[in-house]
Every structure is written in structure tokens, then in C-alpha cells.
A = this chain, B = another copy of it.
Amino acid sequence: MVMWNNMDTLTSYQELSKVGRVNLAEVMSGDNGAERVKKYSVPMAEGMVYNYAAKQVDDKVLEALAKLAEEAQLTEKFEALYNGEVINTGEKRMVLHHMTRGQLGEAVTADGGDKRAFYTGEQQKIAEFANKVHSGAIANAAGEKFTTVVQIGIGGSDLGPRAMYLALENWAKVNNTFKMEAKFISNVDPDDAAGVLATIDVAHSLFVLVSKSGTTLETLTNESFVKDALKNSGLDPAKHMVAVTSETSPLAKSDDYLAAFFMDDYIGGRFSSTSGVGGAVLSLAFGPEVFAQFLDGAAAEDKLAKNKDILANPALLDALIGVYERNVLGYPDTAVLPYSQALSRFPAHLQQLDMESNGKSVNRFGDPVNYPTGPIIFGEPGTNGQHSFYQLLHQGTDIVPLQFVGFKSNQMGRDVVIEDSTSQQKLCANVVAQIVAFACGKADENRNKNFEGGRPSSIIIGDKLTPQALGALLSHFENKVMFQGFVWNINSFDQEGVQLGKVLAKRVLAHETDGALKVYSDLFNI
């Protein structure tokens, strides 16, 4: 039986805050630094490692974190989650996104069936559909193959699938699994849909409408925009659209779609990349086999998240170090910095995943918590960021913990040698250099050129960004966020904070406003 207690009631948390602080610049220098880099490393799936040598931890801090993990029953809570307990207490729902890629524990039955069978069944339906599209068995009215797939969705139905598509687009091109180009329409700004439509050939485009509830205003509006465009081109929208939705949504049985693929209430939008929400667009773009490989990587990483030993559980360890930085060391932000252009939108996805899950002020029973919860997450790929906001990260007045990601090889295999090194070597050399520069700094008599150091970072290192590696990476961060929510005793799986804006926007559109709301509306001539 797991106990849900606020973090500040835990003895182990009190003890953690009393452990002596680590002087990062000092411990990362010389032979000691070399030893740390070798020692403070945890294997991940797919041959990757999570290296935390440049974090402000030592064996004493790690020991205290292990006690916190134990007292807070973090792996037991994960076990309860994947065995189907109602962990999303706010909405009274189970949390089953792990089951889209594997069976971690007991069979879970709901809605009249086994949930693992339901998710794999939907994956299979998508695979068959995608294969038919690729073979031309499903084609447009002129009998021609579809060449483009356009996802219409917002938030969790957009950021994750978009980031994953961009992560694998070039990999698929060089591995001959690139089937269809994908585009994405999300914003209610009509220029988003119009802009995308201006770049595609609608006659050869298949649209994937993604909305779990079937009522997301942005998505339905953009669907209508797209349908108009199809009709104006003399095409039948019902022959160009599929839906990804829940079985109970108004879209599920509609004749407006070539096919409908289902998810359910146990998968939150931001955790849905491995469900049909990501599955449809990624299977169409790269083939169902690639999507299956992506799921395999996530499943392999999920298994590691079951380990009780924090030094064998990279997501748990990453989560605990993050809590230490947020609550004991007092850092309010975390930057995600992938040294891989393919991961250009991965930080935006993690921003949603983390901030929407853990940006909460009340615990899972609705009582206020007395400690900071989820941090601000931001980031851009390196080396681009080095020529942008890294100035502040190195010499600004605030310390920002950093989360690097890097790969030994690039995806496309093309490269160029300049000054005796390849671009890929330069890329890797830069991330290595940054870790040490942030941690150790460098004294200079000219204070303007002085680097204090003491700026913590971790790095995930992989061989190459393959579908499996991407799945493992995604799983790592999903589970990290989950574990942090457990420590903070909050419900990471609802998002009541998005409701008030929706209610007020409806009032504005209905002209039922007064006070400031009315004057602002007047400024926009609404």
C-alpha cells in the first residue's frame, strides 16, 4: 500500500537538505573530475548512458536521494500506476501510456477488455492502413498515391508527434524508409492552416485529425478550414481524412473519415506520442516498422524505470537530482540542450511534458503545497544555442541547471573535414567542452572574461539517434516527470490550469464581457 505524503513531511527530505553542498568547480577538476565522469554514469536502453558527473552531487547526496526515493515509495508508485491504480485522482482515471509500448506488470482490464490488447490492436489497425496507403490500395479519387500527411492537432496532439517526426525525418531518408512528407497544423491563427495549405498539393494529401475528446476548438476549426480547401479543389474531404480520437467521441463513428483509430482517457495528450496520436502520422511518414522500433526503445527504457536501485534507474535518478536542484539548491529553471539538429523541437515537447504535468500548486488531494514544484523548461539545439543564450548560462547572475543530449554519429552519414576534424567531431567536442566550461569555469583577472563555473549539467550520450534511441529518450523524460510528480505529491496527469482561459475566451466571443475583459475586446474589435 503506497502512502501519498507531501515532500516536506518526509524525514528523508529534511535530511537531504542538511547534507553538505558540493563545490562543483572543485570536484570536477583534475584527476578527481576524471574519476567522477567514469563513476557517475548509469546505463540506459539502446546503449545510451545518463552521465551526471557534472551535477552538484556526491556519494552523500546520492545516499540521501536514495532514502528519499525509498521513503516516498517512488518505484512502488510507478508499480501502482502501471498495474492500473487510479493515479490521475483529479480526473479519476488510470494512467496507461506505458502500455502503448509494453506490459510492465499485471494485465489491466477496462472498457470491456484488456488494455494492452486494445493499444496493440489500434497500432495494428494503423499499420495495416499505412501499408495500404503506401501500396496505393488506399489512394485519392484519381487512384493516385497520397504523398503527404498533415496532422491537425494541438498541444499533446502536435508537439510530441511533430518533434518525433523531425527527429527521424532525415534518418528515414537515408535508411530508405521515408514514405510521406508530414506537415502539421495546430494554431487557431488561420494563417497556420493557410500557410501549410499553400505549401502542399491537397489532392495528394491525407489529413490526420487528432482530438481525444473530439471537441478541441482549435482542431475542429482547422479541420473545417482544411475541408473548405479540399472542397474548393473539387475533392471529397471524407476521402482525405482519418481521425485519431476516443471511442466515445463524436468523431468515432462519423462517415467524415476514411478510418478512425482510437486512444482512451487513460493517456494524457502530452504522454500520447507512443499511442495512435503519434502512431498514425509516424507510421504514414516512415512506415509502421519504424514506429514499432520507436516503441521498442521506449519499452526497453520503461523497464529500467522499475529498478529500485536509483543507480540503475536513470529516469529516477535524473528526477531526484532535479528535485534536489529545485527544492534544496533553489534553481527555478532547467535548460534542455540537444546537440542534434534533428532534436530541434524536442525541447518544446519536453517543455509541455514537464510544465503541464508538474506546474501545480496543490497536492493530489487539492491542498496547497509549501514548496516549489515543476521548473521552467526551455532549450534549443547546440551548437546554435552557444551563439545565443549561453552567454547568460555562463556569466549571468542566475544558475540554470542544464540537460545535454549528444550522439557519437550523425544520422545522414555525410560530413566534411575542416581543420583536421569532421563536423560531427566538432559538434561532440563542443558539448564536451561546454560541460567542463560550465562546471569548472576559468579564472581571469579581467572580470569580464572570468567564468565562475559551478553550473551543473548532465548529459545523455547515445551512438546515433535511431527510432529506438528516440523512444528510449522520450521514455526517460516521461518517467522523470512522473517520478518528480510523485516526490512533490502532485497529480502530474491533469491540467485544470488550462480551463479558465477557455471559459473567458468563450465569453469574449459571446460578447458577454464587462470590465477589463470588455475593454481589451474592444481594442481587438472583437
**Cβ-defined partner of A187 (8 Å) among B53, B384, B428, B506:** B384
Give the shortest distance, in Å, between A26 (CB) and chain B (any CB): 12
Q: Are B433 and A517 in contact (CB under 8 A)?
A: yes
Within 8 A of B (CB), among A166-216: 169-170, 173, 186-195, 198
Q: Which B residues are in CB contact (< 8 Å) with A142?
A: none
Q: Which B residues are in CB contact (< 8 Å) with A526?
A: 425, 428-429, 432
Overall SS of chain A's interface: helix
Q: Which B residues are in CB contact (< 8 Å) with A519?
A: 33-34, 37-38
**A269-B388 Cα distance, complex, nearest whole Å:** 10
Q: Which B residues are in CB contact (< 8 Å) with A447?
A: 362, 366-368
Q: Are B398 and A332 in contact (CB under 8 A)?
A: yes
A115 at interface by CB-CB < 8 Å? no
Q: Which B residues are in CB contact (< 8 Å) with A421?
A: 509
Given contacts A410-B190, A412-B195, A429-B509, contact A494 B524 (CB under 8 A): no
**Cβ-defined partner of A341 (8 Å) among B156, B170, B195, B228:** B195
Q: Which B residues are in CB contact (< 8 Å) with A387?
A: 154-156, 158, 218, 269, 352, 498
A381 at interface by CB-CB < 8 Å? yes
| Chain B residue at smallest Cβ distance from A415 | B190
Give the shortest distance, in Å, between A66 (CB) and chain B (any CB): 24
Within 8 A of B (CB), among A498-521: 498-509, 514-521
One complex includes copies of this chain to the number of 2
A36 at interface by CB-CB < 8 Å? yes
Number of interface residues of A (CB under 8 A): 160
Among the stretches A219-227, A248-256, A284-292, the one at the interface with B is: A219-227
Q: Which B residues are in CB contact (< 8 Å) with A501?
A: 386, 390, 394, 430, 433-434, 437
**Cβ-defined partner of A332 (8 Å) among B29, B225, B332:** B332
Q: Are B351 and A224 in contact (CB under 8 A)?
A: no
Q: Which B residues are in CB contact (< 8 Å) with A371?
A: 397
A372 at interface by CB-CB < 8 Å? yes
Q: Which B residues are in CB contact (< 8 Å) with A195?
A: 169-170, 341-342, 412
**A173-B198 Cα distance, complex, nearest whole Å:** 9
A391 at interface by CB-CB < 8 Å? yes
Within 8 A of B (CB), among A400-459: 400, 406, 408, 410-412, 414-416, 418-437, 439-442, 446-452, 459
**Cβ-defined partner of A515 (8 Å) among B34, B423, B496:** B34
**Cβ-defined partner of A188 (8 Å) among B186, B187, B426, B514:** B426
**A23-B297 Cα distance, complex, nearest whole Å:** 50
Q: Are B221 and A418 in contact (CB under 8 A)?
A: yes
A477 at interface by CB-CB < 8 Å? no
A237 at interface by CB-CB < 8 Å? no
**A440-B500 Cα distance, complex, nearest whole Å:** 11
**A507-B159 Cα distance, complex, nearest whole Å:** 38
Among the stretches A122-130, A307-315, A353-361, the one at the interface with B is: A353-361
**Pairs A-B, 4 closest by C-beta atoms:** A359-B392, A155-B387, A33-B516, A433-B504
Q: List 19 A-B contacts (CB under 8 A).
A: A28-B516, A34-B518, A37-B516, A190-B415, A225-B414, A332-B333, A332-B398, A362-B395, A366-B448, A367-B447, A373-B397, A376-B392, A390-B501, A392-B497, A394-B498, A394-B501, A426-B505, A434-B505, A461-B523
